[in-house]
Each structure stands twice: as structure tokens, then as C-alpha cells.
């Protein structure tokens, strides 16, 4: 299992911190994005992959992966679970994704936008 920690800070030049970035996961590894917000105006968070085929969010029962997932924070924290996709060949593939934060009116809080990288590795 791979854990990506995301800290949302109320002030500062860099208000979204991701550790580690880039992150690496082997094919079929569980990946969890753990959010902690120190800003009480953040009500929900979202992860969105740039390309549909690079998503880590697979629906139960099959079908195409979801490009994004969004969840509400509870007491300033949330976890989004995903799974590294199979590449179908040995090697590695980098995938860009976006982190977004929203207020209680579902408006994006632009100060928290960030586009880190996760790398899928298939031995």
C-alpha cells in the first residue's frame, strides 16, 4: 500500500503540500491519498487525473475508471482510496493529476490547486 499525504495550509506561498511527490506505486498496489486541512473553509477535496486511461479509480463490477473522485472532509480530514492500474507491459508510466479544494458552497478555492505526479511501475 502506498500513502500520499496532502496538507492544506491556511496561509503561505505554498498552501498545498504533497508528500511524497512524485509518488511511485506498483501495478495493483492500493494507493490512499490522506488529506488534512488546517483551513476551516475547506469542506471537500477532489483528485482528478489528466487522462481517463491513467486513473486509479476503478468502479466495482468493471467498467471504465473514473477520471476523478471528490469527498467531504470530516473534522478536517479525508482519505481517497485508489489502485494502481495494470500497464500491460514491463516499465513505468507517469500520470499527472490535480488536487482541488472546495468551500461549503462548492466553489473551488484556487489557492489549493496543485498538479503532482504518480508513477505506475510494472515489473
Domain 2-122 -> CATH class:
mainly beta
Domain boundaries, the chain: 2-122
The answer for residues whose C-beta is within 8 angstroms of residue 85's C-beta and 6 or more apart is 27, 54, 55, 56, 58, 65, 120
Whether the per-residue pLDDT at 62 is higher than 90: the answer is no
Confidence at 84, pLDDT banded by 50, 70, 90:
very high
Q: Sign (positive/negative) of CA torsion 46, 52, 55, 58?
A: positive
- Give the 3-state secondary structure percentages of the chain, helix then strand then coil, rounded to 5: 5, 50, 45
Residues linked to residue 25 through DSSP beta bridges, in sequence order: 120
**Tens digit of each residue's pLDDT (9 = 90 or more) over 3-56:** 999 999 999 999 999 999 999 999 999 999 999 999 999 999 999 999 877 899
Please give the model's pTM, rounded to 2 decimal places.
0.93
Q: Is 95 helix (H, G, I), strand (E, B) or coil?
A: strand
Amino acid at each position: 500500500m502506498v500513502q500520499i499525504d496532502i496538507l492544506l495550509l491556511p496561509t503561505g506561498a505554498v498552501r498545498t503540500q504533497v508528500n511524497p511527490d512524485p509518488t511511485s506505486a506498483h501495478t495493483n498496489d492500493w494507493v490512499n491519498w490522506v488529506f488534512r486541512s488546517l483551513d476551516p473553509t475547506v469542506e471537500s477535496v477532489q483528485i482528478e487525473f489528466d487522462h481517463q486511461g491513467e486513473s486509479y479509480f476503478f468502479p466495482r463490477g468493471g467498467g471504465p475508471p473514473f477520471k476523478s473522485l471528490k469527498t467531504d472532509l470530516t473534522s478536517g480530514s479525508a482519505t481517497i482510496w485508489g489502485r494502481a492500474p495494470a500497464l500491460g507491459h514491463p516499465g513505468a508510466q507517469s500520470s499527472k493529476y490535480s488536487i482541488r479544494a472546495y468551500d461549503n458552497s462548492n466553489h473551488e478555492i484556487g489557492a489549493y490547486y496543485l498538479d503532482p505526479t504518480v508513477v505506475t511501475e510494472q515489473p
